[in-house]
Structure 1
Amino acid sequence: MRALAVLAALALAPFALEAAGAGWWMQTLARGLIYAIAAMALQLVLGRGGLVCFGFAAFVGIGAYAVGISYAHGLEEGLLTFPLAMASAAGFAALTGLVALRTRGVYFIMITLAFAQMAYFFATSLSAYGGDDGLTLWNRSTLAGRPLVEDDRAFYWLVLACAAAVWAGLRALGRSPFGAALDGARRNEARMAALGYDATAMRLAAYALAGALGGLAGALLANHAEFVSPAYMSWLRSGELIVMVVLGGTASLTGAAIGALALVGLEEALPKLTEHWRIILGLMVLGVALFLRKGLAGLAERGG
């Protein structure tokens, strides 16, 4: 019931914001929900799989470029480009995961970072698609051949529907035997192997799924900004995604979404207060990491 109430509140948010004369916040909220999709996907591998991926932004960037490059060649149909974005990111995740998942700890962190940087520099070399300058989309993707999400409010609802579907899907996955086995492999891999589970295969499947969802976030981000840039793949963006998950609570799927919305909202609001807003933001993140073991999700549980 609480989830339905939150969904209803988010669905009605555009009307409330417009009535309050703050309609421009709808775009910020849409961006926050897009990053919530990416953060929830990262939480699958970080919180449940125990894999600190420092190159997750590569999946987001690949999804965005799948839409941008398709657009440059005249393909604007979202029912085709969105699955293409997810498949491209999932393929990259599966291929790089075959190598990265042979390692653990800091080695896994560095390998995922290296693969992400390779994707970043490859994107900057695509001079036919803007190179360093990025690629502009003059309109959003069509759905069934019609510009159904050209309107900001309609696009916001599309993003909200995708975020809700990802949350529900990952929540169901977490409660499934696969989710329990993945969690068990994080806690005690040797015991799960003795029970007949292939921890590497499970982690690879989770990694590919997370990559696909990162690609979905990238496809939505490209439409949100109507622009695609190599900056979407930078290590700074990967770091932001990790901060979102830590801020919300690494053990909580809902917390990852809360962390993404909180960080995007703070990045929008704090610069209006002071030019030194990054110091304030850093102290807030540090405070959550030190004093809120379960992140903002734990704080919400106390309040509930």
Structure 2
Amino acid sequence: MNPMNHSKTLFVLLAFAGLALYPLMAGNYGIDLVTKMMVYAIFALSLELLVGTTGLICFGQAAFFGIGAYAAVLLPAQTDAPSLLWLLPACVLAAAVYALAVGALSLRTKGAYFIMVTLAFAQMAYYVVHDTPLGGGTDGIYLTLKPVLGTLIDLDKPLVLYGFTLLMLAGVFGFLALLARSRFGRALAGIRVNEQRMRATGFSTYPYKLAAFVISGGIAGLAGFLFAVKDGFVNPEMMSWHLSGAVLIMIILGGLGHLRGALIGAFAFALLQEFFKSEAVFGDFARHWHLGLGLSIIASVVLLPRGLVGLPGQLRARLVGRSNLQGARHEAV
């Protein structure tokens, strides 16, 4: 195995091992916070498939996230706890079906037009739940009974939800890693680099892009389902363009083109959010946490053009350059 690939694999394994052991030393607040981070990481991975792998900048990813969340609340009956076996696939399917409809139309456009069309579809979904009784309007809807799987899995228990979310995160990460190494994944990478050349070699790029769009929407729906179960509440803000922008920032912050970058970016974004919201650290200025978060992101983009995932390589390059410079000076002397 290539030493670089070995270090990447080791990093991923250590990260998941750390997440698995974290509940042993954390309290309820820490478990809830890291559960939210893992949900964000799944959401970021869904967009990484489009932006980092396929080169499609989607600004409507929150629509699929919100549909998965609303489906978790609206589909089950309110008398008995729903079974995880049917509710989870149903939520993923609902988001994937909407992604199929959106992708079938929006992928006929390119560039800024594609971005605007995906944003328009997301805003349509937002106003459906915002302005109609279907989604409870601006007040949102509470999830009274959380999904269960017999007596084995009860997602109303924080530790069980944490473990289940970690399992889903590992599954999505592994699935996308395998997908990237497959013929389908290599075709998506080719589309990102040069779509016209891919067409010239005989690839019909539209079905590949549509399939990636649907898979991405389904994964975002999974993240929405987990978020709804964690909070026990959904509201229209889960479909707002602000959330689509936030998840795009996550993958840029972590480093585009890397699954590890989506993980790192999601955790870094959530940690920065919590840090600047802390009244113990910033006092009254914590009310303006968006300012601190924005400045941090600007600084990271300027100083780390390849994202946080590229930081070790950047430091290595500087150290090697410095040692070479010192060696040249020594020889000159």
Given the two structures, how large is their TM-score scaled by the length of structure 2? 0.86
CA displacement 1:210-230 (0-9 Å, x = unmatched): 000000001001101001111
Give the match's secondary structure for 1:54: coil
- Structure 2, unmatched stretches of 5+, are 1-9, 317-333
Counterpart for residue 42 of structure 2: 37
Counterpart for residue 202 of structure 1: 208
Per the TM alignment, residue 277 of structure 1 is displaced from its structure 2 partner at its CA by 2.6
Give the match's secondary structure for 2:25: helix
Cα separation, 2, equivalents of 1:201 and 1:106: 21
CA displacement 1:84-103 (0-9 Å, x = unmatched): 11111111011111110011
- % identical equivalent positions: 39
Cα separation, 2, equivalents of 1:64 and 1:301: 38
CA displacement 1:170-224 (0-9 Å, x = unmatched): 0111111111111111111121112211111101000000000000001001101
Counterpart for residue 113 of structure 1: 119
Given the two structures, how large is their TM-score scaled by the length of structure 1? 0.94
CA displacement 1:208-263 (0-9 Å, x = unmatched): 00000000001001101001111100000111010111111111111011111111
- Maintained 8 Å contact 2:43/2:220: yes
What is the aligned counterpart of 1:178 among 176, 179, 184?
184
Per the TM alignment, residue 73 of structure 1 is displaced from its structure 2 partner at its CA by 4.8
Q: Which amino acid aligns with 1:80?
A: W
Moved over 3 A (4+): 71-75, 144-147, 300-304
Q: CA RMSD in A?
A: 1.7
Give the match's secondary structure for 1:293: coil
What is the aligned counterpart of 1:288 among 293, 300, 307?
300
Equivalenced residue count is 300
Cα separation, 2, equivalents of 1:15 and 1:150: 19
2:199 aligned with 1:190: no
2:231 aligned with 1:222: no
Counterpart for residue 105 of structure 2: 99
- Structure 1, unmatched stretches of 5+, are none
What is the aligned counterpart of 1:12 among 9, 16, 21?
21
- Maintained 8 Å contact 1:28/1:268: no
Cα separation, 1, equivalents of 2:30 and 2:132: 33
Q: Which amino acid aligns with 1:34?
A: V
Q: 1:128 to 1:49 in 2, by over 3 A?
A: closer
Q: Per chain length, whose mean CA-contact separation is higher, i.e. which structure has more relative contact order (CA < 8 Å, sep 6+)?
A: 1
- Maintained 8 Å contact 2:61/2:122: yes
Q: 1:57-136 residue pairs with structure 2 within 5 A?
A: 57-74=62-79, 76-136=82-142
Counterpart for residue 309 of structure 2: 297
Q: 1:286 to 1:129 in 2, by over 3 A?
A: closer
2:24 aligned with 1:49: no
Counterpart for residue 2 of structure 1: 11
- Maintained 8 Å contact 1:71/1:137: no
Cα separation, 2, equivalents of 1:79 and 1:259: 31
Cα separation, 1, equivalents of 2:52 and 2:15: 23
Give the match's secondary structure for 1:24: helix
Q: 1:134 to 1:300 in 2, by over 3 A?
A: farther
